[in-house]
Copies of this chain bind each other. A is one copy, B any other.
Amino acid sequence: MTKPVVLGVGMTKFGKQLDKSFKQLSNLAVNDALKDAQIDKADIEAAFVSNVMAGSVWGQDSIRGQVFLSELGLENIAIHNVENACASGSAAIQMAVMAVTSGMHDVVLVLGTEKMHHQDKTKAFAALKASTDVTENSAVLMGQEKENESVFMNLYAEDMRLHMEQYGTNAETFAKVAAKNSYHGSLNEYAHYRKPNSVQDVMNSRLITSPLRLLMCSPLSDGAAAAIICSEQYAKKHTNELIYIESSVVMSGAKKENETTEVTTVAERAYKQAGIGPSDLGVVEVHDAAVPGELLAYEQLLLCTTGEGGRLIEEKQTYIDGKIPVNPSGGLLSRGHPIGATGIAQLAEINWQLKGEAGKRQIPTQPKTGLMHNVGGYLQGQNASVAIHILSR
């Protein structure tokens, strides 16, 4: 069976882009990816398009991908619309992996495009709430959300409080994750935020939901990211630098095995599928929608033992020149979080790091393997979807 290869990637700058339409953002990312892959658009056989908010925020539903791609002149291709809350981008990547490994298609496009900024700011926050079970009353969610705040920040705040209680982690330690990612983001021309923040800047920012502060939370962003994924045979005709997708695991309603979290269950499957362990990884992109998301991921992905997440950031091991660089892109916190595009932006970053094309934020060792961790939604007390992909060169 053929292995899927990432042949090219492209993305727009992430940020507030009220002046750009879904079509314009999509065109920019797709054209970049085509140029990077050095193929013609006529070679694309199918597209898997990830978006979360076009319907609820902009009234464009049902055929989102067809509309986003309608000015590119792609003909006679299948366009599939895929949604999985904040893990939508990874869900689309898994579709592409299946399309290529099944032999149904040789070359496919993955696109994530999101416009979260709207003149009515409450729309995006209302849309986030639709990523939970709207018919259920969760004690964590009920009555705590405000019109201009994400319901998910309550969940992250709870995770942060628990870690502080159980392991004596300080708020400053969590703030160091944000400081690191803002430094990485300052080196990334695609990032929403380019200003490096000190730990003190983070600790001085406005309290959102105690103990989470503003600079500990990812922003609303607009942007698009795209990737061309193809079969190994096709890729070998175009390049000698093959970036393989070694594992693709998406799980919903995960059962917590061995008293670990659902993320660890998925990670263990992904490591097994790839034949790669956590100590083999040279770069990791994690879902830091808020700082505890990253610190807990250190532990859940088995980069360290449970409770030791704080030590990793205190020892600066997750900086780009550290032992195991995490979020060299700046992560969701600084690169930004245009929900449907995030997973694909993670793929782009891992791809660039493996190829040595990450510019000022390049990890000096040019890693051979990387992992991306993307989670989405909230249901029955856990992530509604956990997606992990491992790449290698």
Contacts and interface: CB of A to CB of B under 8 A. Distances in A.
Contacts of A7: none
B255 A66 contact: no
Interface of A: 1, 21, 23, 52, 55-56, 58-67, 69-70, 74-85, 88, 91, 94-95, 97-99, 101-104, 127, 130-135, 248-255, 265, 376-377, 379-380, 384-385
Nearest to A81: B83
A261 to B, nearest CB: 13
Nearest to A91: B80
A131 B60 CA distance: 7
A78 B94 contact: yes
Contacts of A61: 52, 55-56, 83, 127, 130-131
A63 B104 contact: no
Interface SS of chain A: mixed
Given A134-B59, A253-B75, A385 B82 contact: no
Interface centre among A63, A81, A97, A99 (most CB of B within 10 A): A63
A67 to B, nearest CB: 5
Contacts of A94: 78, 80
B376 A79 contact: no
Contacts of A253: 66, 69-70, 74-77, 79
A78 B134 contact: no
A348 to B, nearest CB: 22
Given A75-B253, A80-B84, 4 more contacts: A52-B62, A55-B130, A78-B250, A79-B252
A249 B76 CA distance: 10
Given A62-B85, A379-B63, A380-B70, A76 B130 contact: no
A62 B98 contact: no
A76 B382 CA distance: 13
A388 to B, nearest CB: 11
Nearest to A21: B135
Nearest to A68: B133
A130 B59 CA distance: 6
Contacts of A97: 102, 104
Contact of A385 (B58, B63, B254, B265): B63
Nearest to A69: B253
Nearest to A266: B76
A377 B63 contact: yes
A112 B135 CA distance: 19
Contacts of A55: 55-56, 61, 130
B133 A67 contact: yes
- Of A55, A101, A133, most buried by chain B (CB within 10 Å of CB) is A55
Contacts of A376: 62-63
Contact of A70 (B99, B133, B254): B133
Nearest to A92: B80
A234 to B, nearest CB: 16
Contacts of A255: 75-76
Nearest to A1: B103
A330 B74 CA distance: 35
Contacts of A380: 70
Residue among A62, A132, A253 with the highest chain B CB neighbour number at 10 A: A62
Contacts of A67: 133-135, 379
A135 B75 CA distance: 21
Contacts of A101: 102-104
A245 to B, nearest CB: 12
